[in-house]
Homo-oligomer: A and B are copies of this chain.
Amino acid sequence: MALTIVGTMAFDAIETPFAKTDKTIGGSATYGAFAASNFTNNINQVSIVGYDFPTEVLTELNNLGIHTEGVEIVKDKLSFFWSGRYHLDMNSRDTLITDLNVLADFNPVLPESYQNTDYLFLGNVAPAIQKSVIQQLKQRPKLILLDTMNFWMEIALHDLLEVLTMIDILVINDGEARQLANEYSLVKAAKKILTMGPKYLVIKKGEHGALLFYDKEVFFAPALPLEDVFDPTGAGDAFAGGFIGHLAKTDDISFESMKTAIIMGSVTASFCVEKLGTERLRSITKQDIETRMKEFVGLTKFSVY
């Protein structure tokens, strides 16, 4: 089924205790699309880049079944640029530079060919943009997933609360869930957030896994215990991309299917952090996914007696 992904495509400069790069391809929609392309090859990308964004990357995306008609190329501006440095624990980072460049003008117009969207992944951009994309679709997608961050809770809460009433799944991290609900207990926070619009809530806890809340149900997906996390950049987008990619592939949005999807998200994120930037995400094979899926089964499966 057709999956539309909205978000940033950018250059990143990343410094971790193990690696450093001055310029690598990044952005939420880039990570999301590479991740989802491991599951489905009918992806509509919505983003904005500058004249400096490599055409080879757009070609690589096209070859993976990712349509880029919805990626606006601004001829006289630079692409969005982000630079960050991770601390030793890899759970916290300092943002060193944020050059919005083209992103300041991001006001996406969906191409007609994107109107067949069944699954919509709204990456972390301004809630007003997320809302505008939903409104441009003549037919409501089967499933809308939204990612956001504390920044929008601080400067655009009204817009965010509005778009929350229009979506199905909210994906945020533990700190953001606590902030949005103003509750320390994640179970209490989840209860509150599920009254704000979304039917499903995914709370990402980094190396501590992710929780999926639905009605009175809760499901937990661990993160794979890894010897080394090489670069955590984009792991959250890879997680969401793998999650919705699996749903778009199976076209099954039952709670049971979402459990498998969240494990697929963890599987995808576990690859993402193994190498710098998007490198590992772009070289995952079907066999890699099957093997790692088995590792997740081994990691979590137990006999009751």
Contact = CB atoms under 8 A, between A and B. Distances in A.
A184 to B, nearest CB: 6
Contacts of A205: 208
A54 interface: no
Interface of A: 88-89, 184-188, 205, 208-209, 211, 217-222, 225-229, 250, 256, 259-260, 262-263, 293, 297-305
Contact of A304 (B89, B218, B260, B303): B260
Q: What is the interface of chain A mostly: helix, strand, loop, or mixed?
A: mixed
Copies in the complex: 2
Contacts of A300: 219-220, 300-302
B259 A187 contact: no
Contact of A220 (B186, B225, B228, B262): B225
Contacts of A293: 304
From A186, A187, A217, A300, residue with most partner B Cβ within 10 Å: A300
A87 to B, nearest CB: 11
Contacts of A186: 225
Nearest to A226: B187
B226 A299 contact: no
Nearest to A17: B184
From A218, A299, A302, name the one whose CB has the most chain B CB atoms within 10 angstroms. Answer: A302
Contacts of A185: 226-229
A243 to B, nearest CB: 13
